A and B are shown apart, each in its own frame.
Chain A
C-alpha cells in the first residue's frame, strides 16, 4: 500500500482529525483546569488566552478593557485585510470588554466561534473575579486603617487603670465603643488638688466621630490646664472657641458635661452643654443635672451656667452617654431614662467602681444577646473616701518586694495609725495577691506592670489590684498535716487575713479587692507541733 491509495488517505485523514481533536480536547482540559489558579488579572488572562492561541492555531488575540492586552503576533498591516478575525463584545461590571482574535490560516468555523464565545465569557469572568479580588484587598486595607485609627482614637482617652486621686472622692470610668471607633469621650485630671472630670459625645459614628473625638479630648485637657482656675464654664468656653468651627463644618456637635470637685469645700461645680444623663444621688434620692446650653458646635456664643452643690459622704455623681439609656433589648425596648435613674437610686453601694460595674452589668442584662446599639461611656464619682495614688508594680518577684515599704508609709499617712497593729497581716495578704498576679495573670508578660490602690473608709481598708493579664483563679489549698502539699497556700492565707475578697474581670482588666478591718488581728500561733512531739 502506498500513500497514494485513496482508502489509506482517508484513514490518514480520519486519524489526523482524531489526533487533532484529541489534542484540542487535551488543550481544552488544560485551559479550563488552569484558568482559576490565580487571582491576578494578567496571570488569569495569560492562562486562558495562551492555550486558546495554541488550541485554535491563532496568530494573535487582543482584549480591550480598562487595560488593552495583546497576545501572539500582532498584525503587521491592516488586520481587516490580512487575516480572518473573530470579534466579541460584552459588559462585565459596567465595563465594556472587547475580544478580537485573528489567524491567517483558515477562516473561523461554527465550532470555532462557539469555543471562542465560551472563552470570551471565561475571560470576562476572569476580569470580573480579578476586579472583585482587588476591591476586596482594597476594602481589607481600609479596614486595617480603620482599626489603626480606632487604636489611635482610644489612646486619646485616659487609662481607666489609673484614675486621678484627690481626698474624699473616688472616680471610675469605662468607655465601650459600639463599632471599632466611636465619638464618646471622657477626661479626668487632678489639678491643684482638685478633681476635674468630663464626659462627652461627638455626634455620629465611625471614623469621622472618632477623629473629632480626639480633637475635642485634647482641647478639653488643654483648656483644663490653661483655664482651670477660672472654673468649668470658662473651660468649656475655651473648648467652644477651639472646636466650634471644626464641628460645625463637619455638621457634627459635641454634648459635654464638665466639672470639678474641690475636696476642701466638698463642692462640685459643673457646666453642661446639652449632655444627658447626669444623675446626682444623695441619700438614695436622685436628681438630674440638666443642660444649660446647647451642644458645642451649634451656637458659637452659647455659654453654660454654673451648677454648684455640696456633697456629703456616700453621695454619688453618675455621668453617662445616651448609648446606655438607649440600649435596646431583643424586643426593641429601650433601657430608658427613668430605669437608669431608678437603678442609680437603688444600688446599695457607694463605691464608684462597684456602682459603675453594676450599672454596666444591668444594662448588659437588659441587652441580652442584642448587639450594643451605640457607644457607651459611664463615669461614676463616689464621695467619701481617702485614697492613695496607685502604686505601679513591676510584674517580677523583685518588683513585689517594693510593696512592703510603700504599704507601711502610705497606710500610716492614710489611716493615721488605725491599721498599725495589722500592718504585717495586711502586707502578707497584699503580697500574696501580688505574687498570684505575677505567677498567674502576668506569667506571660514579665515586663508588664500592675496597679495597687489603697482606700480607707472609717475603720475599713480596701486594697485594690488592677492588671491586664489573663483571667486567673486558683482555689485555696488546705494542707493535710500528714500529707502536706508543696504549693498553693497563698489564697488560703489571704482568706484568713482579709475580711472579704472579691475578684472580677471587666473586658481585659482583672480587679482584685481585699477588705481589712482595723480590728481583729490573727494570733501568731495555732496548735504548734513542738520539738518534743518528734
Chain B
C-alpha cells in the first residue's frame, strides 16, 4: 500500500484595529481588505478586541469585506470587542448573526 501525503497552506490575514472603527478608519480598512483580496487572500480576521467605538460606516466596511472574501471562496471573521458599546452595535444591527465571531483570533483560526 502506498501512502501519499500532501500539505496545504491556508493563508489568513489578520487586521488589528485600534480604539475606533468609524467613517475615517473605515476608509483605511476597506483599502486594506481590498488589497488583501486582490493579493489572493480571501480569509481575513478583523480583530476588534480593543476597539471601543464602532459606527455604521465601520460595519459597512466589514460587510463589504465579508462579501468580497466570500465571493472568492473565503470569509471575513471578527474578533469581538471587549467593550460593550462597540459590541452593542453588532447586536443592534443583528450583524452578530452575520459574522462568524469569537473572543480571540486563535479561536477563529481554529475554524479554518
Interface residues of A (CB under 8 A from B): 397-398, 400-401, 404, 424-425, 427-428, 431-432, 435, 478-479, 481, 484-490, 492-493, 496-497, 522-534
Option from B55, B85, B98, B101 in Cβ contact (under 8 Å) with A484: B98
Option from B24, B87, B89 in Cβ contact (under 8 Å) with A401: B24
Q: A401-B22, A484-B66, A485-B63 are in contact. Are A531 and B87 (CB under 8 A)?
A: no
Residues of A within 8 A of B66 (CB): 484
Residues of A within 8 A of B67 (CB): 484, 486
Option from A427, A432, A525 in Cβ contact (under 8 Å) with B56: A432
Chain B's closest residue to A489 (CB) is B56
Interface residues of B (CB under 8 A from A): 20, 22-24, 53, 55-57, 59-60, 63-64, 66-67, 75, 77, 84-85, 87-102, 107-108, 110-111
Distance, CA A522 to CA B87, complexed state (A): 11
Distance, CA A531 to CA B60, complexed state (A): 21
Residues of B within 8 A of A489 (CB): 56, 59-60, 93
Closest CB-CB distance, A20 to chain B, in whole Å? 83
Option from A428, A481, A525 in Cβ contact (under 8 Å) with B55: A428
Some 9 contacts from A to B, beta carbons below 8 A apart, are A401-B20, A427-B85, A432-B55, A435-B56, A486-B67, A493-B56, A493-B89, A493-B93, A522-B88
Option from A397, A428, A481 in Cβ contact (under 8 Å) with B97: A481
Closest CB-CB distance, B96 to chain A, in whole Å? 4
Residues of B within 8 A of A492 (CB): 56, 92-93
Distance, CA A490 to CA B110, complexed state (A): 33
Distance, CA A526 to CA B110, complexed state (A): 24
CB <8 Å contact, B23 and A400: yes
Distance, CA A431 to CA B85, complexed state (A): 13
Distance, CA A481 to CA B110, complexed state (A): 23
Distance, CA A461 to CA B33, complexed state (A): 39
CB <8 Å contact, B63 and A526: no
CB <8 Å contact, A528 and B63: no
Distance, CA A523 to CA B53, complexed state (A): 15
Option from B59, B85, B99, B111 in Cβ contact (under 8 Å) with A425: B85
CB <8 Å contact, B60 and A487: yes
Distance, CA A523 to CA B84, complexed state (A): 8
Residues of A within 8 A of B24 (CB): 397-398, 401
Does more than half of chain B's interface fall in helix, strand or loop, or is it mixed?
A: helix
CB <8 Å contact, B91 and A526: yes
Residues of B within 8 A of A485 (CB): 63
Q: Which of B60, B94, B95 has the most CB of A within 10 A?
A: B94
Option from B20, B55, B77 in Cβ contact (under 8 Å) with A490: B55
Work out how many contacts link A and B, with CB atoms closer than 8 A: 121
Chain B's closest residue to A438 (CB) is B23
Residues of B within 8 A of A481 (CB): 94, 97-98
CB <8 Å contact, A487 and B101: no
Chain B's closest residue to A527 (CB) is B97
Closest CB-CB distance, B58 to chain A, in whole Å? 10
CB <8 Å contact, A522 and B97: no
Residues of B within 8 A of A524 (CB): 84-85, 87-88, 91
Distance, CA A39 to CA B108, complexed state (A): 81
Given A424-B88, A486-B63, A534-B77, 20 further pairs, Cβ under 8 A: A427-B53, A432-B56, A479-B98, A481-B98, A487-B57, A488-B60, A489-B59, A493-B55, A493-B92, A493-B93, A524-B88, A525-B88, A528-B91, A529-B98, A529-B101, A530-B100, A531-B102, A531-B107, A532-B111, A534-B111
Residues of B within 8 A of A478 (CB): 94
Distance, CA A489 to CA B22, complexed state (A): 13
CB <8 Å contact, A531 and B77: yes
Residues of B within 8 A of A496 (CB): 92
Distance, CA A527 to CA B91, complexed state (A): 8
CB <8 Å contact, A526 and B22: no
Chain A's closest residue to B26 (CB) is A397
Closest CB-CB distance, A479 to chain B, in whole Å? 6
Option from A424, A486, A527, A532 in Cβ contact (under 8 Å) with B60: A486
Distance, CA A279 to CA B53, complexed state (A): 47
CB <8 Å contact, B97 and A435: no
Residues of B within 8 A of A484 (CB): 63, 66-67, 95, 98
Residues of A within 8 A of B22 (CB): 397, 400-401, 431
Distance, CA A431 to CA B21, complexed state (A): 12
Distance, CA A428 to CA B56, complexed state (A): 9
Distance, CA A484 to CA B62, complexed state (A): 11
Residues of B within 8 A of A432 (CB): 55-56
Q: Which of B56, B94, B100, B111 has the most CB of A within 10 A?
A: B56
Closest CB-CB distance, B21 to chain A, in whole Å? 12
Chain A's closest residue to B88 (CB) is A524
CB <8 Å contact, B84 and A486: no
Residues of B within 8 A of A528 (CB): 90-91, 96-97, 101
